[in-house]
Amino acid sequence: MADFVTVGKLSEVPPGERLVAQIGRTWVVAFNVGGTIYALEDQCSHEEYPLSDGFLDGTELECAKHGARFDLRTGKNLTPPALVPVQYYEVRIEGDDIQVKI
């Protein structure tokens, strides 16, 4: 059964910023895009490079290593060289806590 886990504080992630958290053996990156929080596994599906180093363009994230793009809303891969999506996590806000469903 999946549980929601707190990864950080909403007040610490203003729009346009990101936070990285480790949950067990998994690294998660959460992005604030215009007040909406999106969370993905912090690993490009192409070469396991940290997506937290990437570049935001609206709800699209470009991997800094080879330019693969992903949809923050779903984790879907949008451009090569990534051929598979990245793990997307459901997000909820409880007070000031950002929580992801793991």
Q: Is 11 helix (H, G, I), strand (E, B) or coil?
A: helix
pLDDT(5) > 70: yes
pLDDT(78) > 70: yes
What CATH number was assigned to the domain covering residues 4-101?
2.102.10.10
With beta carbons less than 8 A apart as the criterion, state whether 61 and 73 touch: no
- Please report, to the nearest 10 degrees, the dihedral formed by the alpha carbons of residues 65, 49, 76, 90 taken in order: -140
Q: What is the pLDDT of residue 2?
A: 78
Rounded Cα distance between 4 and 81, Å, is 32
Mean pLDDT of 36-64: 96
Which residues, 6+ apart, have CB-to-CB distance to 102 below 8 Å? 2, 3, 4, 5, 23, 24, 26, 28, 89
Domain ranges of the chain: 4-101
pLDDT(1) > 70: no
pLDDT digits (tens, 9 = 90+) for 12-35: 999 999 999 999 999 999 999 999
